[in-house]
Amino acid sequence: MQEKNRGLALFTLLVFVFLLGPLVIISFTSFEPGTVLKFPPEGFSWRWYENIFEVKMFMTTFGTSMFVSLVGNLLALLLGVPAAYALSRFQFKGKGLLNAVFISPVLIPGIVMGFAMLKYVIITYNLPIYAGLLIGHTVIMLPFIIRVVASSLSNFDFAIEEAALSLGAGKVETFFKVVLPNIRSGIIAAILIAFLESFNNVDISVFMTGPGVSTLPIQMLTYVENNFDPTIAALSVLLMIITAILMFIIERMMGLSYFTKR
C-alpha cells in the first residue's frame, strides 16, 4: 500500500514540476543581463524590467487592456447581475434556452467570435475598433459574471426579500439594502474572475486591433515574433504576480471551490 502511494506521490510531483517548472524558468530568465534568453541566466539584472516601461507600446496597450477590462467589466455587471438575479429567483419557460444563450460565449471558439464580431459588428455598423474591443470583452465577461453571481444566489433565502417588502421597502431598495450586501463577496469574486479572463484574452482581441489600438497580450505576441529578449520574461513575471494577488483575493471571497465545481 505504501509503495503505491509513494509511486503516485512521485508521479504527481513530476506532473506539478511539468506544470510549474516553465513558469519558474521564465521567472529566472527575466533577470538575465544579456540580450539573449538563456537558462540559467548568467547574472542578475533589473534591466529588462526597466525596459518594459520604456517600450511605449507596452504602456499604451497596458492602458488599453486595463480600460477595456474594467469598463467591459462594469458593462457586464450592469447586464449580468440583473440577469443572474432573474435566473435564480424565478421559474419560467425557456429558462434552459436563456441559460444556454448566456453561457454560449464560453462554448463558441473565441477566434470564431472575434472574427464574426469584426465582420458583422465593426464593419457593418462602421464602429471604431476600440468599440469592438469593448463589446467583445463584455461578451466574454458576461457568462462569468452571471455564473458566479447566480452561484452566490443559489443559497440565498429569498424570504428576506419578502420580509423587507412587508416592512415597507420598495423593490429596488430591497435589492440594494438586502440582497446585494449578502452577495457582496460573490460579486467581488465575479469581477476578479471576469477581469482575469478579459485581461488575458487573445482570441477575440487579435481581431480587434488596429492602428494604435491593441491589448497587452496581443502586443506581447507581436513583440515575441520580432524580438526574443528577456523583456517578455520580465513582463510575464509582473503579470504572474498580479494574477497571484487577484487569485488570493478570490480565494478569500469565495474559496477556490468555484473552480472545482463543474
Partner 1 sequence: MKNKGMYLLLLPGVLFLTLFLVIPIVMTIASTFYQEGSFTVQGYFTFLTDPYNLKILWTTLRVSLVTTIACILLGFPAAYYISKLGARKKGILLALAIFPLLTSSVVRSFSWMIILGKKGLLNSSLLSIGLIEKPLEILYTPTAMMIGLIHLFLPLIIITLVGVMENIDPDLLKAAESLGASRFTAFRQVILPLSMPGLIIGSILVFVGSLTAYTTPALLGGKQGVISTFLYQNAITLNDWHMASVIATIMIVITFVVIGLMNKIATKLNPKG
Partner 2 sequence: MALLTLENVSVAYDNQYILKDFNLNIEKGQLISLLGPSGCGKTTTLRLIAGFLEAKDGRFLFDGKDYTRVPVNKRNFGFVFQSYALFPHMSVFDNVAFGLRLRKVSETEVKQRVEQILDVVSLGGFEKRFPKELSGGQRQRVAIARALVIQPDLLLFDEPLSNLDANLRVNMRVEIRRIQQELGITTVYVSHDQEECFSISDRVAIMNKGVIEQLDDPATIFKYPKTEFIARFIGFNNFITFGERTEQDGEIELRVGGHRFAATHNPGTANAQAKKCAMRPDDLIVTTEAQADLETNRLPGTVKISTFLGRSYQYVVETDLGDFTVNQEMETPYKSGQTVHLLFPKDKMVLVD
User: Which position among 17, 36, 111, 163 is part of the footprint of partner 2 (CB under 8 A)?
Assistant: 163
Which amino acid, residue 177? Answer: K
DSSP 8-class letter at 180: G
Q: Is residue 188 part of the contact set for partner 2 (CB under 8 A)?
A: no
Minimum distance, C-beta of residue 196 to partner 1, in the bound complex (Å): 5
- Classify residue 76 as exposed, middle or buried by CB count within 10 Å of its CB (0-12, 13-18, 19+): buried
For the segment 162-221, give every residue that binds partner 1 (CB under 8 A).
Answer: 171, 196, 199-200, 202-203, 206-207, 217, 220-221
Q: Is residue 170 part of the contact set for partner 2 (CB under 8 A)?
A: yes
11 interacts with, out of partner 2, partner 1, none, CB within 5 to 8 A per kind:
partner 1
Which is closer to partner 2, CB of 42 or CB of 173? 173
> DSSP for 198-254?
HHT--TTTTTS-BTTB--HHHHHHHHHHH--STHHHHHHHHHHHHHHHHHHHHHHHH
- Helices within 118-178 (DSSP H only): 124-125, 129-153, 159-166, 171-174
Minimum distance, C-beta of residue 168 to partner 2, in the bound complex (Å): 4
User: Which position among 131, 162, 227, 252 is part of the footprint of partner 2 (CB under 8 A)?
Assistant: 162
The number of residues in the chain equals 262
Which is closer to partner 1, CB of 119 or CB of 177? 119
Q: Find where cell 471558439 sits.
A: 109
97 interacts with, out of partner 2, partner 1, none, CB within 5 to 8 A per kind:
none
Q: Is residue 155 part of the contact set for partner 2 (CB under 8 A)?
A: no
Contact 234, 52 (CB under 8 A): yes
In the shown chain, the binding pattern of residues 60 to 89 toward partner 1, with x for contact by CB under 8 A and - for none, equals ------------------xxx-xx-xxx-x
Please give the Cα distance from 82 to 224 (Å, whole number): 41
Q: Is residue 148 part of the contact set for partner 1 (CB under 8 A)?
A: no
Q: Find where cell 520580432 sits.
A: 226
- Classify residue 129 as exposed, middle or buried by CB count within 10 Å of its CB (0-12, 13-18, 19+): middle
Minimum distance, C-beta of residue 133 to partner 1, in the bound complex (Å): 12
For the segment 230-259, give every residue that binds partner 1 (CB under 8 A).
Answer: 232-233, 236, 239-240, 243-244, 246-247, 251, 256, 259
Contact 47, 33 (CB under 8 A): yes
Please give the Cα distance from 245 to 229 (Å, whole number): 26
Q: Is residue 211 part of the contact set for partner 2 (CB under 8 A)?
A: no
Q: Is residue 182 part of the contact set for partner 2 (CB under 8 A)?
A: yes
User: Which position among 54, 126, 167, 262 is part of the footprint of partner 1 (CB under 8 A)?
Assistant: 262
Interacting residues with partner 2 (CB under 8 A): 157, 159-160, 162-170, 173, 178, 181-182
